[in-house]
């Protein structure tokens, strides 16, 4: 299944929404202490962002996701695989990115500092 999703995921990476782009610029490069991947296949789904180190999936939703039954099914499957799913609305990210980053950092597990070299 993953091989079939890889071309679609690559295409989605080239066509991020404004909200996804804004969030990606804030969470890439380990700025929250964890490595995130964007538009990544997991099972039969493509998630917006994932940190495999912390088993956290971050989804960015627009109005099309309001009360989506498929999102509920997807979230349950991801949870059954050990992932924690966090969802943020487009307008939250576009209008209050600092608040989103605070919520996100509160939900992430604490990171270990890199070992000291001596």
Which of 10-14, 80-84, 85-89, 102-106 bottoms out in mean pLDDT, i.e. has the lowest?
Answer: 10-14
Other C-beta atoms closer than 10 Å to the C-beta of 84 total 16
β-partners of residue 46 are 41
Bridge pairing between strands 56-61 and 45-51: antiparallel
> Does the pLDDT value for residue 112 go beyond 60?
no
Q: Mean of the per-residue pLDDT values for the chain?
A: 85
Q: How far apart are CA 27 and CA 2, in angstroms?
A: 24
* pTM of the full structure: 0.82
pLDDT in tens, 32-81: 888 999 999 999 999 999 999 999 999 998 866 566 788 899 999 999 99
Please, what is the Cα angle at 45 between 39 and 49, to 5 degrees? 30
Q: How far apart are CA 48 and CA 44, in angstroms?
A: 13
**Which has the higher per-residue pLDDT, 26 or 13?**
26
Using pLDDT thresholds of 50, 70 and 90, give the confidence band for residue 15.
confident
pLDDT at 23: 95
pLDDT at 33: 84
Which helix (H) or strand (E) segment holds residue 93: the answer is: helix 90-95
Query: What is the DSSP code (8-state) at residue 28?
Result: S
- Classify 61 as helix, strand or coil: strand
Give the number of C-alpha atoms closer than 13 A to the C-alpha of residue 65, restricted to the C-beta side.
14
């Amino acid at each position: 299944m993953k091989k079939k999703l890889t071309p679609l995921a690559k295409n989605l990476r080239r066509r991020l929404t404004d909200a996804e782009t804004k969030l990606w610029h804030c969470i890439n490069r380990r700025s929250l202490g964890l490595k995130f991947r964007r538009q990544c296949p997991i099972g039969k789904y493509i998630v917006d962002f994932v940190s495999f180190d912390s088993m956290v999936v971050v989804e960015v939703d627009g109005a099309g996701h309001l009360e989506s039954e498929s999102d509920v099914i997807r979230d349950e499957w991801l949870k059954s695989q050990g992932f924690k799913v966090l969802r943020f609305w487009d307008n939250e990210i576009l209008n209050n990115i600092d608040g989103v980053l605070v919520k996100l950092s509160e939900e992430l597990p604490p990171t270990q500092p890199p070992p000291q070299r001596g």
